Every structure is written in structure tokens, then in C-alpha cells.
DNA sequence: ACCTGAACACCGTTCAAGT
DNA sequence: ACCTGAACACCGTTCAAGT
């Protein structure tokens, strides 16, 4: 539950940054559907139309949210996971470096699973998104892919990362723990009621379909699968 | 523009099937946002609450739409692309067969790009979805993957197909041709205005990022990339 | 420059009532 | 069984007005 900031006495001046902060916090807590012009205004102790001075319309606000996530990912790629700017040239092979870029994006997205879908259609609309794209394209070109395949694989990479996060087994956005648990139990039970002769493999997999044993293993497999796919298609290979 | 059926004199009895038909046609023409209880009622010449007799709420209607697409895909897999039921056992290798399943799903989804996002969270909620999942799991197990990896790869396969369709370069849902063209030109122009020293690879790729030269080649690459990834991870391989 | 107030055209949904 | 009517609590957005 996000409280009215006015009631909490935290009222401050509005700004694009504060609105985006608030929207992201709200989406993290209650899902993207809760991110509403009117709700955001309420949380900031302001009239809904106040937001229209800062953003032309809701679409632009969503653009702003996406840009925030993208620039966090770009910063992580530029600085490395330790926050130290990387100065010396990266000596690793193209595939290790590409995997690093995807892993950085993944790290940011995992903190905001309700918002990941906003990103792919907007990646080319802001500078940090262009930076990320430029790096991915450069690495794929270095690997020997043509311009067209590189472009398509770069976009596909972003989509893969997004759908990994959005489809993490057991994911339910915008409901709190108890209800979430209840829903998962229900889903599990209904799957276990399936015909064992017709759906033996589904039945054997119920546990893994409905919850994520090890998140680390899950995301490693996702990245590995994408990278193996790219490597498998690399031109001039056995 | 979808016309009021009442005005067209085509008024018939309501049913779950007719409502789903109507919703799919509407989404195809104007995008998912246009699919509204009130709008559907209007198009059928009926009061909005009439729909609530057939579906408990909007969520169930969306479930119904997803199930329709899923069952079309399952039928295509079962019958083959020619519509003839496949009787003799499939002799192909597991990877060719898996690719065939994905290609069938792809074929159905490409006709309804506005609706693909509905499917992944609902694939386990209906019989045809369980059929598709069972096949994918069986083939992955046959390939030597463990239960957990098979489950995760099967779901990832579905997400890949969906995002291939949703992110097809040049895709803009729910607007007619002229406006679509205009938007693409604008987007292309803004990308071409990017710094050539900072974003050389982006600049070289503008054409491919903003429009899809050959749809066939695009989708082939997408399926190839996924299948290469799975093959690359197959246990007990060089 | 930054925000408010009233108003408009939309949503999904409930509940009682009609046939 | 199948649909209507009125009502409620929400949306995004415009436009004129305040400070």
C-alpha cells in the first residue's frame, strides 16, 4: 500500500524525476495497472492535472519510466557491477561481452518486473538505449553477422531478457504475498489434476512450471540459451 | 472501422463464440485497447451487461480469446499445414519436430499480432495449451534435457515466438496504413539524425530496425536462433 | 512557471428488474 | 435462460482560470 504523501507530510515540489520515481515505486508495489494519472497525483498530494504540466500525456510518462530503466541498465554496463567506471579496453571475446551487456539489463529489469514490457518498443527513443543498441550491434558485427541479422538479433536479445523476467515461473504482479501464495497453490492443484496418461510430461513438470527452484539457474539458462543460439548461427562456423 | 452489427442488420443471438469472434476481429482491426466490454456490446447491438451473462468479467473474456488462438495453433500442429490429420507416426528428429510446433504457433500468431501477449500466461489454462506443452516437453526430454530445463525451455520457446511477432520491425498496432507509414517515416528520420561517430552501427542499421525487409527471413532467423540455442545446450554434446 | 476546478467522454462492474 | 436500466467508482484529457 502506497500512502498519500500529503498525509505523510512529505510534500515537495513536483518534477519529472519525482513523478517517475513515484510511478516506478507504485508499479513495483501494485503493478502497472495501478499506475494511473489520478493515483499518482493523489500519492503526491496534488491535482491530476498538475501532472500534465510535466508530461504531455500518459504515453510520455510511460516513455519517461522506460528511459529511467534503460539508463540504469546502460550505467551498469558502462561502470561494471562494482560501480567503478571501466577504463581499460575490454579484452574479452565478443560473446562474453555481449552476455555481460544482457546480464546487466537483466539485473535492472529483475528489480522492476512490472515495467519490463515498456522497454522494447522504446529502446531506440533515448540516448542510453541507443548506447546499449550500439554496443550490441558492434559486438554482433564483430562476430561476423551482417547488418540485417545483427539488427534483428540485437532486438531479439532485448526481448528475450524481458520475457525471461516477465515469465519467471511463479511470477504474479501486484498482489501481496499471501494472495500470491494462494493463487500458486490453486494453479498447482489444478495442474496436478490433469490426466496422467495424456499429459505425463506436464504432470512431471508441474513443480517447475509453477515455481522457480533457483532463480540464478533459471536466468543462467535463459542467457545461455540465447548466447548458444547466437553462437550457433555465427557465420563461418562448422 | 468495425461497424455496428445492429446497423448492418446482422443481429443474431449472443454466445461465447460470437463474442470471442467479435473481440478478435476488433483487436485485429484496432488493437487490444479497443477491445472493451462496452465497445463489443455496441458492435453486437446489445447492452454492455449482456456480456456479463456469458463471461464472469473481462479477464475471463481475455482467457477465451487466448484459448481460441491456442486451440487454432494446436489444431495446426495436429493436422499439419495442409489440414489433413497426420496419421502415421512422425519420423523426424526431435529438433525438426519441435521447430514444426513452433512454426505452427507462429503461423497463427502472425494473423493476430495484437493478441499474442495474452497467450503465455494462459497456456496452461486450457486443454489445447496443455497438448502443445506436452509435445514440447516430450521432445525436449527426448533430446536429453532434464525436467526442469525442459519446462523452462518450453516456456521460453513460447515467449520467443510471441515476441518475434510482437516486435516485428515496423509493427504498429491498431492504426491504418497511412498513419502507420507516417509514423515509420518519422521514426526513421529521427534515427538517421543520430551522431554518426557515436552510433555508427545504429546508423548503418536504421533501415532494418524500422522495417522488415523479408518477413520470411526475419521469422526464419528467429526460429533458427531459438533452435540453435536449444541444440547448443543439449546435454551430452561436444 | 506551475498548479487548480469544473467538465467531458470514456471505462468495468453490481444489482435489481424485466421477459 | 438471457438480456435491460440505472447507478457507482473509476479512467484520461481539455480548457479556462488562478497565483
Instruction: With a cut of 70, list the residues of chain A below it in pLDDT.
Output: 1-11
Between CA B186 and CA A125 the distance in angstroms is 12
pLDDT for A174: 80
Q: In this complex, do B167 and A156 lie within 8 Å of one another by their Cβ atoms?
A: yes
The answer to whether B83 contacts chain A (CB < 8 Å) is no
Which nucleotides of strand D lie within 7 A of protein CB? 2-6, 10-16
Q: What are the contacts of A29-35 at 24+ separation with CB within 8 A?
A: A29/A1, A29/A2, A29/A174, A30/A2, A30/A174, A31/A114, A31/A173, A31/A174, A31/A175, A32/A114, A32/A115, A32/A117, A32/A118, A32/A173, A32/A174, A33/A174, A34/A174
Question: Which nucleotide is nearest, taking the CA of residue A55 and each C1'?
Answer: D13
Q: In this complex, do A167 and B159 lie within 8 Å of one another by their Cβ atoms?
A: yes
pLDDT for A6: 36
pLDDT in tens, B13-36: 899 999 999 999 999 999 999 999
pLDDT for B11: 56
The cell numbers describing B60, all together, are: 475471463
Between CA A210 and CA A202 the distance in angstroms is 11
Which contiguous run of DSSP H or E holds residue B169?
none
The cell numbers describing A51, all together, are: 501532472
pLDDT band for position B103 (50/70/90)? very high
Contact status, residue B168 vs residue B113, Cβ threshold 8 Å: yes
- B155 pLDDT higher than 90: yes
pLDDT for A11: 55
The answer to whether B122 contacts chain A (CB < 8 Å) is no
What residue has cell string 519441435? B98
Coil, helix or strand at residue A212: coil
Once rounded to an integer, what is the mean pLDDT over residues B102-115? 98
B22 or B173, which is more confident?
Answer: B22
Q: How far is CA A171 from CA A67, B103, B136, in A?
A: 24, 27, 22
Kindly identify which residue of chain B lies nearest to residue A217, measuring between CA atoms. B149
CA dihedral B189, B195, B200, B201 (to 10 degrees): -50
Please, what sign has the CA dihedral across residues B93, B98, B100, B101?
positive
Between CA B230 and CA B236 the distance in angstroms is 13
pLDDT for A88: 82
The cell numbers describing A88, all together, are: 581499460
Between CA A168 and CA A213 the distance in angstroms is 11
Rounded to 5°, the CA angle B143-B127-B146 comes to 20
pLDDT in tens, A135-184: 999 999 999 999 999 999 999 999 999 999 999 999 988 888 888 899 99
pLDDT in tens, B65-98: 999 999 999 999 988 888 888 888 889 999 999 9
pLDDT for B7: 39
Q: Which of A161, A157, A142, A146 is nearest to A90 (CA)?
A: A142
The cell numbers describing B21, all together, are: 469472434
Query: What are φ and ψ of residue B147, in 5° steps?
Result: -60, -45
pLDDT for B80: 80
Amino acid at each position: 500500500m502506497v500512502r498519500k504523501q500529503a498525509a505523510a507530510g512529505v510534500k515537495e515540489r513536483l518534477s519529472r524525476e519525482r513523478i517517475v520515481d513515484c510511478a516506478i515505486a507504485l508499479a513495483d508495489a501494485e503493478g502497472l495497472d495501478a499506475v494511473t494519472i489520478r493515483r499518482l497525483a493523489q500519492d503526491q498530494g496534488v491535482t491530476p492535472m498538475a501532472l500534465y504540466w510535466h508530461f504531455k500525456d500518459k504515453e510520455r510518462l510511460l516513455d519517461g519510466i522506460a528511459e529511467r530503466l534503460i539508463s540504469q541498465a546502460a550505467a551498469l554496463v558502462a561502470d561494471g557491477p562494482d560501480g567503478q567506471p571501466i577504463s581499460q579496453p575490454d579484452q574479452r571475446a565478443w560473446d562474453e561481452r555481449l552476455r555481460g551487456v544482457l546480464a546487466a539489463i537483466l539485473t535492472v529489469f529483475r528489480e522492476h518486473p512490472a515495467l519490463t514490457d515498456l522497454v522494447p518498443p522504446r529502446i531506440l527513443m533515448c540516448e542510453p538505449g541507443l548506447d546499449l543498441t550500439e554496443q550490441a550491434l558492434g559486438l554482433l558485427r564483430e562476430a561476423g553477422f551482417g547488418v540485417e541479422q545483427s539488427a534483428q538479433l540485437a532486438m531479439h536479445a532485448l526481448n528475450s531478457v524481458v520475457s525471461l523476467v516477465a515469465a519467471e515461473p511463479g511470477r504474479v504482479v501486484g498482489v501481496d504475498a499471501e494472495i500470491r501464495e494462494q493463487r500458486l497453490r490453486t494453479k498447482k492443484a489444478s495442474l496436478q489434476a490433469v490426466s496422467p496418461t495424456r499429459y505425463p510430461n506436464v504432470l512431471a513438470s508441474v513443480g517447475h512450471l509453477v515455481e522457480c527452484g533457483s532463480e540464478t539457474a533459471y536466468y543462467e539458462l535463459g542467457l545461455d540459451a540465447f548466447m548458444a543460439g547466437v553462437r550457433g548461427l555465427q557465420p563461418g562456423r562448422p
